[in-house]
């Protein structure tokens, strides 16, 4: 009798291992990170990666409850294994290769956002197209002088085409693209 109970338990565990939903969850990419400083905490959640071919940037993000971590990588021209220095988000697109890191969390009284200004994201690509890597960055609060140090890793993250927020690059402004207004009538301030 005891042997049949053991056999049944073993059979159920093997059957559960064959459940495609569990297999997909086990295969899904994950991001784990922790931070300390003005705030402290950690996240361990499923991660996604979206590639924006028009703007040449990759976004890796994970959300757990109200907490989220996002990493944007700005390669020179394609996603390659490399160390991407963390810079302020406003500079990341212009100093390639670069990375920007963001952290959103809820404190007891307010939603707080942090953005990285130094550190590095080390990216490793695989032949299967999945990404792995690690990050370490200093991040400053968006609303005050608070700062945190974020460290973490991500594994087995599949790259998908960007589905939201991937707009084409704005046209470059050069002397040829600025309209010539020297022949225009001077504005006399009157409305017709």
List the Cα angle 73/93/59 in 5-degree steps: 30
- The answer to whether residue 96 sits within a structural domain is yes
Query: In this predicted structure, what is the pLDDT of residue 106?
Result: 86
Q: Is residue 118 part of a domain?
A: yes
| Structural domain of 61 | 27-161
pTM of the model: 0.73
Decide if 78 is inside a domain. Answer: yes
Give residue 30's pLDDT: 98
Examine residue 19 and state whether it is found in any structural domain, yes or no.
Answer: no
Q: So what's the pLDDT on residue 192? A: 43
CA distances from 97 to 121, 130, 133, 183 (A): 11, 19, 16, 43
Has residue 168 been placed in a domain? no
71/115 Cα distance (integer angstroms): 10
Residue 51 is assigned to a structural domain of this protein: yes
Number of structural domains the chain divides into: 1
Which pLDDT belongs to residue 96?
96
Domain for residue 192, yes or no? no
What tens-digit pLDDT sequence spans the chain (192 residues)? 444 443 333 333 333 344 444 344 445 899 999 999 999 999 999 999 999 988 899 999 999 999 999 999 999 999 999 999 999 999 998 999 999 999 999 877 888 999 999 999 999 999 888 999 999 999 999 999 999 999 999 999 999 888 766 755 544 444 444 444 445 444 454 444
Could you tell me the sign of the dihedral formed by the alpha carbons of 21, 22, 26, 29, in that order? Answer: positive
Phi and psi based region of residue 156 (left: phi greater than 0; alpha: psi -120 to 50; beta: remaining): left
Q: Are 117 and 151 in contact (CB under 8 A)?
A: no
Structure confidence at residue 167 (pLDDT): 57
Q: In the beta sheet, which residues pair with residue 138?
A: 118, 149
**What's the pLDDT score for residue 41?**
95
183 occurs within a structural domain? no
* DSSP annotation of 86: B
Question: Alpha helix locations (H) across 67-192?
Answer: 89-92
pLDDT at position 17 is: 40
Q: What is the pLDDT of residue 162?
A: 81
Query: Residue 173: what pLDDT?
Result: 45
Q: Which of 58, 150, 75, 78 is nearest to 112 (CA)?
A: 150
């Amino acid at each position: 009798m005891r042997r049949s109970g053991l056999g049944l338990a073993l059979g159920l565990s093997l059957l559960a291992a064959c459940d495609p939903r569990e297999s997909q969850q086990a295969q899904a990419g994950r991001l784990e990170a922790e931070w300390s400083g003005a705030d402290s905490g950690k996240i361990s959640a499923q991660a996604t990666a979206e590639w924006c071919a028009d703007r040449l940037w990759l976004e890796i993000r994970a959300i757990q409850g109200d907490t989220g971590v996002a990493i944007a990588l700005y390669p020179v021209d394609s996603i390659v294994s490399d160390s991407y220095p963390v810079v302020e988000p406003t500079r990341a697109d212009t100093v390639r290769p670069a990375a920007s890191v963001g952290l959103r969390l809820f404190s007891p009284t307010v939603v707080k956002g942090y953005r990285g200004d130094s550190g590095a994201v080390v990216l490793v690509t695989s032949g299967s197209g999945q990404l792995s890597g690690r990050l370490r960055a200093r991040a400053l609060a968006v609303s005050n002088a608070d700062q945190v140090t974020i460290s973490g890793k991500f594994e087995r993250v599949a790259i998908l085409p960007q589905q939201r927020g991937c707009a084409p690059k704005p046209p470059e402004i050069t002397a040829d693209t600025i309209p010539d207004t020297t022949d225009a009538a001077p504005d006399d301030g009157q409305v017709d």
